[in-house]
Amino acid sequence: MMDIHQILKKLPHRYPFLLVDRVIEIKKGESIRALKNVTMNEPFFGGHFPHRPVMPGVLMLEALAQAAALLAFETLGTELDDETVYYFAGIDGARFKRPVEPGDQLILEAELIRMKAGIFKFATRAKVDDAIAAEAELMCTMRKIA
């Protein structure tokens, strides 16, 4: 388990782009379950959409990538530093199954499929209750910045 204070020490993201509120369960080298509480106060809801607020699919993928990053750091036993960035390397098979609205609690799940040559591949799902809202295979990598 990891609370917001621990997450802030591990991820470089900050408001309004930090999209993980809590880690519910983490198994080093295997999987993570985290959550994002979706509230009407999210800055994107003002424009997406004013008449019917819906969380953008790309932000669901970003939330999944942030959860996956936490799993990657835990797996490697490393912390993020000012000289390292964690990037998307690819997104395959992204599917959006249901809208995510204010008041929903998004459960973020990622399973580590492969870790090779600094590239991580994850099977991910974002759920509301037991219904899948989004799913994708994400590839991410860590790189030193010059």
Enzyme catalytic residues: 48
The CB density around residue 72, as the number of other CB atoms within 10 Å, is: 23
> Is the bond preceding residue 12 a cis peptide, omega within 30 degrees?
no
The CB density around residue 94, as the number of other CB atoms within 10 Å, is: 16
User: In this structure, is the dihedral angle defined by the CA atoms of residues 18, 109, 139 and 6, taken in order, positive or negative?
Assistant: positive
User: In this structure, is the dihedral angle defined by the CA atoms of residues 56, 121, 89 and 81, taken in order, positive or negative?
Assistant: positive
Burial class (CB in 10 A: 0-12, 13-18, 19+), 108: buried
